[in-house]
Structure 1
Amino acid sequence: MAAQYPLVHSQLLLQRLLALNKPKSLAPALHYVYLLGGQLQIRGTDAEEPFRQEPNFLWASGCTVPGSALTIEYEHEGGSDQVDVGKIHTRLWLPDVDEAEVMWCGLPPSTDDLAKELHLTSIQRGWTTPALFPPKPKQENVPIFIHTLPNVRPPTSFIASVNGPTHTTEYLTKALHEARRNKTEREIENMIKASEITAGAHKNLMRLVGSGEVKDENAAEAEFVSYCRKRGSKFQAYSPIMAAGASAGTLHYIGNDQPFPQQPTVLLVDAGAEYKGYAADVTRCIPVGNGGRFTKECKEIYELVLSMQEAAFEQIKPGADWEAIQRLMHDVLARGLLRLGIFKSSGSEDESVAKLLSEGLTAAFYPHGVGHLLGLDVHDVGGLPEGRSSDPLLKYLRLRVPLEENFVVTVEPGCYFNEHLFAPFKNSELVDHDVLAKYQYVGGVRIEDNLLVTKEGFRNFTPEWLPKTVGDIEAVTAARA
């Protein structure tokens, strides 16, 4: 039987909260988590912005109603840091119904409707901050700890703050980030659905670009987003990247307003649907021109990046060192660019690779990380508990903890031809600049899938039917009805 949602999330959160608070957490105490949801934002005079619930609140409550609050009450008996799920009290507090708001925007969900989906101790309408003051513990002389995020004021009056509970922001952020890393069954279901919608949108766009129905970046984005909306994805997980030719060398290019180049090249499509708040993040490259087939140089770079991803896949399992996988990506890239003649040999292949990595030259072609955690945020929380690395090859890595079961990660190696990135090496003797010039028009290639780390290895959320090899992509893009 599946764990009750979102009660299971409260249990995970409290477990992390107590683990972070040792040895204090071994003593009896009432722990009271107070979270606030997002507010509806108005642009200009009276135009409502599309509402996206604050991710931590959404994860803990499952509630998408603006202006809500959540309290999680747990009286810990002490002696260990284990959580008794039967003693967790989760209460969702909805705002009062505003008659004027109903006139403009309609009725909000009722408490009864929400209770059909959300397993909480109670759901009630109407609240004020003082009304959410924590209750008196059942045991006498037991301390009370109110846990909030740093930007949230606790539900206490001045007198209560002097003689009452202890307010702390020290643990909640880290506890939330750690708890959100390991995905629950409900989260996995939503992410699979997001990936299926995303894959369909990518394959549909391959067909439209190959047939010539889509001729510019703007139309490409419109077709991708339309496909997702029609299948239940109201929002994109992030701003879609539709980068053709030289634009593909810009990592987060979101201009999406240029016609496709006249010269055959590739369209780098990095875009993902969001489903019930959960993100997919998938990248494919589509040949542009040349009868829907990759040119020689585009094919060579694409197959090199694909070999990088396949090498990363071989390492994915619980306990895997993400930084080691990142270094492996630079090694595979260096060897590939040596064989293509873009890099010059400086001894044996191993000696040449060591030289290239020590010079940081591969970072000019592959500056970002091999991937990141994925969840409610596209770059999900909890990946950098100790901050970023200063190592040039690891500088932009977004995940620096060993993999654990039920992490969802992206694997997205790439190779780019960006004059700005390459500028520090424009006079490098390790580069054959004439050969490099022949590949410049490729712009950039990235290939990205979404993987669930399992006990034995991984499960790829990105469906197998989404073309990824050169042959499979060309079977779609070079086909003519």
Structure 2
Amino acid sequence: MEYPLAHSHLLLKRLLALNKPKSLAPAFHYVYMLGEVSQCRHDTDRELPFRQEANFAWLSGCDVPGSALTIAYEHEGGEEVDPSKVQTRLWLPDIDDAEVMWCGLPPSPEDLAKDIKLTSIQRGWTAPALYPPKPNNTALPTILHTLPNVRPPTSVIASINGPSHTTDYLLKALHEARRNKTPREIELMKKASEVTAGAHRELMRLVGSGAIKDENAAEAEFVAYCRRNGAKYQAYMPIVAAGTSAGTLHYVDNDRPFPSQPPTLLLVDAGAEWRNYAADVTRCIPIGNGGRFTRECRDIYETVLAMQEEAFKLIKPGADWEAIQRLMHDVLARRLLRIGIFKAGPLGNASEDEVVAKLISEGLTSVFYPHGVGHLLGIDVHDVGGLPQGKSSDPLLKYLRLRVPLEEGFVVTVEPGCYFNDHLFAPFKNSEFVDHTKLQQYRYVGGVRIEDNLLVTKTGFENLTPSWLPKTVADIEGVTTGQSA
């Protein structure tokens, strides 16, 4: 099925599944959606960067501000959607001479139709004119689906024989339909990942050579590489954190010089956006020390790498994401015990399993690993549909953004980490399960996170992050020391 017309069919299938058995009866389903408009900052005429509303972008493939979309489907009953009866129409705004003077001509319907396959693309619309017409089968009841923020005028509804208007199903159906990526979406996400990986590798080379000496310059180089390679926008604000800055999970100041002593790490969590689709990749780069990891940096880095490798072993359809999250805490506890940051303390000669269980129940692993193992990825970097029942109150799961079993077609990030954050650690400053001298020795590492983007396949997964982006200590040092091209 052609892009993005296939998305309308996926959406309708979800709509029919949400209100069984009532939704399976014959009806004229009509979806009415408005795209984003250009906006200005506060009370000025300074335009903000335009970003199409994500659900609209997914259904339409269109980035023209002020557009609208309608889907008309005369459903004859049952669970299946008949593609031949789906009419998906994109409505572009009329030409505004003043807008053309300032911003140039927008793309024509003919231009868009070369890449966007819909029933029709045409210019000129008004809100009342796009509300549902009478169906060909006039005996069918009309159900008008809109997002919660759209309220059709009563006068319009009355003039078209009073269709039933509902906001109960469209948003949920969109969130569910967007979870499983189509082949075209995967193609776009692979391109975003390719550009992102190139930017990360180039940054490794520049930091290792000493050409970059502060977070600001590192971010500038990353973004410039993406722009040079066709990715105009970042999928999110880059996190470029040197040393102790990396102890803050979403550090985005990116304005500090690299520490001169001791040698440490630069955590770079950044991803390009390609045709609205996101990549989300994290790597850590040695700062100083001739481009090599110090012993402490290596210990923590290899701890996180071990966490990610254990998570990878479980990625397949049906996998329990919450169980993977719990496993991350288990692996972290065992590794930090072996390093010596954790200890048995009052448990004395208890088994490792008993000590690990105690460390987790006490909340100590959550101090060093406070976030979730990953999230859905797509048009939104934290893509929708992962929390149909909301967030968990369980301390180990409360920041998890995905709480449904994995399915074929999901794209997920896998991003375990280990951080040294004094504020988070404060309640445990007297803990008998921590070797505080050893902890002090490792504090300068700041934080480590390793993140890749995985497509869940029928039998396992495909890593969308290119394999040529270094991840092991040896491979990263090959680039940062100049030994690898």
**Cα distance, 1:47 vs. partner?**
1.9
Contact persistence 1:30–1:73 (CA under 8 A): yes
Which of these residues, 452, 455, 461, is aligned with residue 452 of structure 1? Answer: 455
**Cα distance, 1:141 vs. partner?**
2.8
**Cα distance, 1:153 vs. partner?**
2.4
Corresponding position of 2:306: 307
Contact persistence 2:134–2:160 (CA under 8 A): no
Q: Does 1:410 align with 2:413?
A: yes
1:312-323 aligned within 5 A: 312-323=311-322
Structure 2 counterpart of 1:227, one-letter code: Y
Give the secondary-structure state (helix, strand or coil) at the position aligned to 1:438: helix
Detail structure 1 runs of 4+ shifted over 3 Å in the superposition. none
Corresponding position of 1:394: 397
Tell me the alpha carbon deviations over residues 225-264 of structure 1, each in whole angstroms, 9 at most, x when there is no partner: 0000011101000000000000000000000000001121
1:45-194 aligned within 5 A: 45-78=44-77, 80-154=78-152, 157=155, 160=158, 163-194=161-192
Structure 2 counterpart of 1:134, one-letter code: P
Which of these residues, 366, 388, 413, is aligned with residue 385 of structure 1? Answer: 388
CA distance in 1, matches of 2:381, 2:201: 21
Which of these residues, 355, 360, 370, is aligned with residue 357 of structure 1? Answer: 360
Contact persistence 1:133–1:156 (CA under 8 A): no
Give the secondary-structure state (helix, strand or coil) at the position aligned to 1:89: strand
CA distance in 2, matches of 1:260, 1:410: 28
Give the secondary-structure state (helix, strand or coil) at the position aligned to 1:47: coil
**Cα distance, 1:161 vs. partner?**
7.6
Contact persistence 2:157–2:163 (CA under 8 A): no
Structure 1: which 5+ runs fail to align? none
Q: Percent identity?
A: 77
Contact persistence 1:146–1:154 (CA under 8 A): no
Deviates more, 1:423-432 or 1:454-463: 423-432
CA distance in 2, matches of 1:61, 1:137: 23
Corresponding position of 2:297: 298
CA distance in 1, matches of 2:427, 2:40: 45
Structure 2: which 5+ runs fail to align? none
Corresponding position of 1:431: 434
**Cα distance, 1:159 vs. partner?**
5.5
CA distance in 2, matches of 1:160, 1:33: 18
**Cα distance, 1:143 vs. partner?**
1.1
**Cα distance, 1:158 vs. partner?**
5.0
Q: Does 1:23 align with 2:26?
A: no
Q: Does 1:375 align with 2:374?
A: no
Contact persistence 2:128–2:156 (CA under 8 A): no
Count of matched residue positions in the alignment of Structure 1 and Structure 2: 478
| Distance change >3 Å, CA 161–CA 355, structure 1 → 2 | farther
Structure 1 counterpart of 2:306, one-letter code: S
Give the secondary-structure state (helix, strand or coil) at the position aligned to 2:114: helix
Tell me the alpha carbon deviations over residues 39-74 of structure 1, each in whole angstroms, 9 at most, x when there is no partner: 001125322211110000000011100000000000
CA distance in 2, matches of 1:26, 1:449: 40
Corresponding position of 2:469: 466
**Cα distance, 1:117 vs. partner?**
1.2
**Cα distance, 1:361 vs. partner?**
1.0
Structure 2 counterpart of 1:151, one-letter code: N
Give the secondary-structure state (helix, strand or coil) at the position aligned to 2:329: helix
CA distance in 1, matches of 2:461, 2:24: 36
Tell me the alpha carbon deviations over residues 344-383 of structure 1, each in whole angstroms, 9 at most, x when there is no partner: 1231100100111111210000000000000000000000
CA distance in 2, matches of 1:45, 1:452: 43
Contact persistence 2:197–2:466 (CA under 8 A): yes
Give the secondary-structure state (helix, strand or coil) at the position aligned to 1:424: helix
**Cα distance, 1:278 vs. partner?**
0.2
Q: Does 1:215 align with 2:198?
A: no
Corresponding position of 1:228: 226
Contact persistence 1:282–1:448 (CA under 8 A): yes
Contact persistence 1:130–1:157 (CA under 8 A): no
Give the secondary-structure state (helix, strand or coil) at the position aligned to 1:274: strand
Contact persistence 1:34–1:154 (CA under 8 A): no
Give the secondary-structure state (helix, strand or coil) at the position aligned to 1:145: strand
Corresponding position of 2:242: 244
Which of these residues, 348, 353, 356, is aligned with residue 351 of structure 2? Answer: 348
Deviates more, 1:202-211 or 1:428-437: 428-437
Tell me the alpha carbon deviations over residues 65-120 of structure 1, each in whole angstroms, 9 at most, x when there is no partner: 00000000001101x12101110000111100000100000000001111111111
Corresponding position of 1:283: 282
Corresponding position of 1:335: 334
**Cα distance, 1:424 vs. partner?**
1.7
Structure 1 counterpart of 2:423, one-letter code: H
